[in-house]
Copies of this chain bind each other. A is one copy, B any other.
Amino acid sequence: MLDVAGCANLRKPPRAVTPTWDERRSRPPFAETTLTDAAPIAAFLRPVPADLPTPYVEIDEDRLTRNLRGMQARAMAAGVTLRPHIKTHKCLAIARRQLELGAVGVTASKPEEALVFVEAGIPSVTLAYPIVRPQSIDRLVQSVKSRGTELFLIAASEVGIEAIGAAAEAHGVRLGVFLKIDVGLGRVGVKPSDPRALVLAESISRHPHLIFAGLLSHAGHSYGSKILEEISKIADAEAAALAELARRLRQSGVDVSRISVGATPTCLGAAIPEGVTEIRPGNYAFLDRTALRLGISTPDDISLSVIATVVAHNDKHFIIDAGSKSLSSDLGAHGSGGSGFGVAVSADGAYAETFEVERLSEEHGFVRFSNTPPTIGSRVRIFPNHACAVVAQFDSVTLRQSDGRAAALRIDARGRQT
């Protein structure tokens, strides 16, 4: 915990008592009350040590470390491996920290994104994206072959299996392929009860250049939950469906050695169910207003915020220099979420209230006020809806270190969309 009282520019230093992990887990979710009622202003305040050009993304090192340690501890306590999704931070320094703490490797969402981590020497990577053309992974497979990196992929169609198989054959390697199961998001994957699951699993198993890695799912529909209990139900249903499918596959002679699940809501908001062997959450490193809404995070857990400057006032709003090109227009993950684009507080604690970022232009945020707006030129701290979407806008972010100093953190895989 930073010694916030020692920071001169925070006029009303909060002394929020940091609850233990278990205490936080047993709290009622904020979703049950209004955000402002549930979260006292002090919980949102932090020192702003560096007078940097705004807008910039601040990552609070202590909170980040606490989040990384917390998830690693949960994985270890449940006896599962942690393979964090790096689409959240796209940052080698953070990935290396995750590995130091015990993660077995990383998960990536596009071949070129995965390549950044492979080329940096990360020893094991899962590309959790449905590859359907061999040329998409040509460079990646070349790279993992020359480096000896462990690479897993996913498939949910014969086209996908053939594509990965062709790439593996072209490079003379064998690649691990998970069968992607759709457990309710309705995006990519075979439904657990679909007879095609066995057909595809056998197809992977039989392919001379592929190894059947197991079952993989993403319960992204948990972002639509209204209460914590719903998240638990989703996590349990996911694990049960995968276990039942694994049983059927094993009966048919297909070895299911791994069951990999992962979404921050289920990994943080529910117990890790029996039968799961690996978790792949990403957002937990930073957390955001969506995590607050879901009740899986307190304001004090959120390690990412955006510092902006008040540039104008009008009748209803004060205007900040962060718009959709910094905060993104995401309401939440997978299109979930409610109104507004984030919670704002005055950065120096001069205004004891939270404000809502109500509307965005490209480079302006419209922040609603009822009493007095923060003065023009003063700074605000914004807790955005979706941390992963914010980081993807920036080439680098600012790490506020334990000692209060600011350091630049490169977003190494930003812009790797292909």
List, sorted by A's number, 12 A–B pairs whose CB atoms are closer than 8 Å: A54-B418, A87-B362, A129-B363, A132-B309, A133-B377, A163-B377, A187-B361, A188-B312, A188-B319, A188-B364, A324-B328, A363-B417
Copies in the complex: 2
One of A243-251, A287-295, A329-337 at the interface? A329-337
Partner pick for A330 among B182, B324, B366, CB 8 A cutoff: B324
Write out the residue numbers on chain B whose beta carbons fall within 8 Å of the beta carbon of A389. Answer: 324-325, 329, 362
User: Is the C-beta of A373 less than 8 angstroms from some C-beta in chain B?
Assistant: no
Give how many A residues have a beta carbon under 8 Å from the other chain's beta carbons. Answer: 67
Q: Which B residues touch A186, using CB under 8 A? A: 314-317, 366
In the bound complex, CA of A360 to CA of B159 (Å):
23
Q: Please state if A55 and B188 are interface contacts (CB–CB under 8 Å).
A: no
Are A362 and B376 also in contact (CB < 8 A) when A188-B312, A312-B187, A331-B329 are?
Answer: no
> Looking at the complex, which one of B312, B417, B418 makes contact with A393 (CB distance below 8 Å)?
B417
Against B, the Cβ 8 Å flags (1 = close, 0 = not) of A297-314 are 000000000000111111
Seed contacts A156-B312, A187-B361, A189-B312; 20 additional CB < 8 Å A-B pairs: A53-B135, A53-B418, A55-B417, A110-B321, A129-B311, A130-B311, A130-B312, A157-B312, A157-B313, A160-B376, A186-B314, A186-B366, A187-B319, A187-B366, A220-B361, A322-B417, A324-B389, A328-B328, A363-B417, A414-B415
1/0 per position for A160-191, CB-CB distance to B under 8 A? Answer: 10010000000000000000001000111100
Give the residues from 328 to 379 in chain A that come closer than 8 angstroms, CB to CB, to chain B.
328-331, 333-335, 359-364, 366, 376-377
